[in-house]
A and B are shown apart, each in its own frame.
Chain A
Amino acid sequence: MEKIMKKNPLYFCLFLLPTLLAFMIGFVVPFGMGIYLSFCKFNTMNDAKWVGINNYLQIFQGDETFTHAFWFTALFAVISTVAINVIAFLVAVALTRNFGGTNLFRTIFFMPNLLGGVLLGTIWKILINGLLLSMKQTLTTNGTYGFIGLLIVMIWQQVGYMMIIYVAGLQGVPDDLKEAARIDGANDKEILFQITIPLVMPSISMCTFLTLTNGFKLFDQNLTLTGGEPMHQSEMLALNIYSTFYDRVGWKGVGQAKAVLFFLLVGLIAIIQLKITQSKEAD
């Protein structure tokens, strides 16, 4: 890259320009405006009035729901990350064995990904409520049901996607390494933990990164499955920000401030997580 730039700076800039422009318009500028607005009281972007850090103080002083949403989300992200990755890995291992129909099964497992979150949430709401109604209860009877419901939906949706990444990783593990280990007397378990897993570490870090951030950013499924009911108990961070933004007169700035905190949080977690798994990757 640097070589090309030195050789032909004019071309470099020219070809980079459209993407750079799109990136500025679609990301950098709105992001900057978003940060600015989090320090303002506003209703639309044209009537923003600077109020300093007041919005950030409001999050912790005037609003009880944010901290609950934070812990609810954190717990959800951790549990869903573990569950999705373990299941996806096992499915991937199973589907890289030699037997008929693996391609068919891979396709079937991948399919839920093609549906949108809102649609998924609505379908699963009907399904789960259908079951719970026979016990005269619903998904929103208490926050725990909502939590489990969200877990089911997320696992169902994401296992297929992560499975594809793991399948690619597993196929990249050379057979001769496994054969050599077997000749040296290693059993299946040792081969899995000593050879396969270290070699697919790049896939694992990729997948944990994706599932962890997906867990934190979850919105569509939360909105349609439970809507945060009952009493904000199944409300995750993104939905909490959304309802802060729209449910109260003059609280758009507070919602914006929450969104900025949310960005910092997800960014921080992703960086830490990436550093940890990368240090474990085999070279």
Chain B
Amino acid sequence: MKKRLALILASAMLVSSALCSLTACSGGGSNAKGHVYYLNFKPEQDQAWQDLAAAYTEETGVQVDVLTAAQGTYETTLASEIAKTDAPTLFQINGPVGFANWKDYCYDMTDAAVTKELTSDAFTVKDGGKIYGVAYVVETYGIICNTKLLQQAGHSLDEITNFETFKAVVEDIQANKAKNGFAAFTSAGMDSSSNWRFQTHLANLPIYYEYKADGIGKTDAIKGTYLDNYRAIWDLYINNATCDPGVLSTKTNDDAVAEFVNEQAVFYQNGTWAYGDVSAVGDENLQMIPIYIGAEGEENQGLCTGTENFWCVNSQAAEEDIQATLDFLEWVATSDKGTDALANAMNFVSPFKKAKEASNLFVKQDAAYTAAGKTPVDWCFATMPSEAWKDDVGSALTAYAAKQNDTSWEAVKTAFVDGWAKEVAKSKA
């Protein structure tokens, strides 16, 4: 009798616990209004998005969840989140290569209200005449210069008009490093927190000029026409810096920022997003200048401006969630609160008609370059075939920095040219 009682009790416990977990599963159920789940790419703007989401929920009652992936883990986070029942309704891709990966999940946004708010068609990811991705921020990078130190070294920005003149200034500053107490460049760190500045952003310039010379926008086989220029600018970066070129793999982006802010170097390659990091130097001492690599006609070259941040709506989400997400995006792009958050809390230049002017200094400088008739450099790195390609080029650059001879530069060339073709073939396999 006792045994039977124990048995009944035990099975009752099992059943109830099973029931509990079942109900918990469906507990977060949807309501008629739908809900928005945004998987955010930029850790710097996490708080701003959380605040904006809360403001939207307060205004409309629609629930908006924002999750930010840790630096460098967006793709892995997205891959695991999107397979869940409660998947992100809003995520981002970095351009055509990212689209190829996620096209099964990209909702057709051709007729979405937010798409109509764009100032130009150029800020979209298109496939077969339909729009699947909408850019929400336009960014700019170049070489950030501390003009106060530049003056102390006896130079001015007016001297710098192309690679030759830039090189002369850099080498003179470096030659007087001991006297002045600062180097020309911050460390060109090849740690994963910093290597994208060179294997992606700097590598964009030889690709841009090759595309321009050949009149193309992407390719399956890069030729490497401007690789000698790439070598020249890389030599300049690593041999005129705060650290020995052999130790780049240990240097992080934080190291470079610290060196720049502590006035140990005059030049630091990075973009508009780094404004917050370096603003301690003082607006009056900061100027972003173009990256000259010695290509013909570069006197007329501006900063590198483009985007690799495109919003995509998850096409496999529930109908009401898709609608809620599109409504949220429209609100962000048009409402007073939304545009204000984009411009001021996040310091974004957004390609939307109603966008407010951003308070970011570098953004204003970029506008000044364009107004002066300089041609901005496109972001061609969205056409780089894979992450593996970038990492291999980065590895080769690090090895070359430690041992600067023609043999190790051959390895960079191989990774750049042959690696490109190989990676394209692999992604099509």
- Residues of chain A touching chain B, judged by Cβ–Cβ distance below 8 Å, are 10-11, 14, 17-18, 43-47, 58, 62, 129, 133, 136-141, 227, 229-232, 243, 246-252
Contact = CB atoms under 8 A, between A and B. Distances in A.
Given A14-B7, A247-B391, A231 B386 contact: no
Contacts of A232: 395
B368 to A, nearest CB: 38
B79 A44 contact: yes
B83 interface: yes
Interface of B: 7, 10-11, 14, 75-76, 79, 82-83, 97, 100-102, 104, 192, 244, 246-247, 249-250, 316, 386-388, 391-392, 395-396, 398-399, 402, 423, 425-427, 429
A17 B17 CA distance: 13
Nearest to B81: A44
A43 B101 CA distance: 7
B387 A246 contact: yes
B102 A246 contact: no
A136 B246 contact: yes
Given A229-B395, A230-B398, A231-B396, A133 B247 contact: yes
Given A43-B104, A141-B402, A231 B392 contact: yes
Nearest to B425: A62
Contacts of B395: 229-232
Nearest to A251: B426
A227 B192 CA distance: 9
A138 B423 contact: no
Contacts of A136: 244, 246-247
Contact of A133 (B82, B102, B250): B250
Contact of A62 (B97, B249, B316, B429): B429
Across chains A and B, which 7 residue pairs bring their CB atoms closest together, nearest first?
Answer: A247-B388, A44-B83, A247-B387, A136-B246, A249-B101, A248-B386, A231-B395
Contacts of B426: 62, 248, 251
B14 A18 contact: yes
A249 B246 contact: no
B7 A47 contact: no
Contacts of B100: 249-250
A11 B2 CA distance: 13
A108 B391 CA distance: 39
Given A11-B7, A250-B101, A140 B249 contact: yes
